Amino acid sequence: KDCPIVLQCRTGLRSAIAASILQKAGIKEVVNLKGGFLEWKKFGLPYENKFLSSNSLN
């Protein structure tokens, strides 16, 4: 519960809802990427277009 968590979705709406839920659950360091991934791309910020398999997450 002490690690910062940054949430993002396509537009920032769903991640804002998720951030609110996590904060109510007692997780203090939660940040929502305002505007989501669309804003990130709009400003030309870097990203990788890769998909992780479920096996790579274990």
* Domain boundaries, given as residue ranges, for the chain: 5-48
The whole-number pLDDT of residue 7 equals 96
Going through 1-58 in order, the beta strands assigned E by DSSP cover: 5-7, 30-32
> Which residues have a Cβ under 8 Å from the Cβ of 10 and sit 6 or more positions away?
36, 37, 38
| pTM recorded for the entire structure | 0.73
The whole-number pLDDT of residue 53 equals 73
pLDDT tens-digit profile of 1-58?
Answer: 567 899 999 999 999 999 999 999 999 899 999 999 999 999 999 998 887 776 665 5
